[in-house]
Amino acid sequence: MRLRVRVEEYRATFIVVTFVLALLVASPALSRLLVYPRTEFFTELWILDSNHRAEDYPFNITRGGEYTINLGIANHLGYCAYYVVEVKFRNESQPSPSSFGPIEDRVPSPLPSLFNVTAFVADEQVWEKPLTFSIDYVYDENSSRVVVQSLKLNDVVVDVPDCVVEWNSSRRGFYGFLFFELWLYDRAEDRFKYHGRFVGLWLNMTVPVEGESV
């Protein structure tokens, strides 16, 4: 009787060990079947160049020259989201949006939106849109500054108010920042709220050398 009990105990132990080993071997396959709870909910925002790469971004631009970029959004919020991207432009001294700290504490730039891009993006889906832009500006040689007049975005022309770009002697150029703020519709409050993310491009607005016209 004692021997039989021991055999049964060993048999049970063998079965348990065999089962555990089988689970360890099968774990890669099981990981494909198991559904793990999501712990992070967020949105990605990006801009790529005209070839869908993060390489050849516009930088040195000319007055009225056309440049193409691609704006993208990836939704990982767990639900279909309604976004608005506010397009803005500023010089080096005008306020930018904040990008540090908790998302709920970040604030957008107080500058007016020049153009709004709207998008409905399903959960775990990607939205992308090509944007072709050009900037009209005037060079004031006497004061050595550039006055930005308008922005053309996908054939829509909008005025850029109160934007004067001073000469940057250290970087040797006239620099403006074209940026895109992400806003998310809050169903509980029935309004759009800044989603704490923005992307942008620093642009050097080139001017003619002496003897040339703009």
> Which parts of the chain have pLDDT scores under 70?
1-39, 209-214
**What pLDDT score does 19 carry?**
57
Render the burial of 149-161: b for 16+ CB within 10 Å, e for the rest.
Answer: ebbbbeeeeeebe
The percent of the chain in helix, strand and coil, each rounded to the nearest 5, is: 15, 45, 40
**What pLDDT score does 208 carry?**
79
φ, ψ dihedrals at 35, nearest 5°: -105, 115
**What pLDDT score does 190 carry?**
97
**What pLDDT score does 36 carry?**
53
Instruction: Say how far apart CA 102 and CA 56 lie, in whole Å.
Output: 31
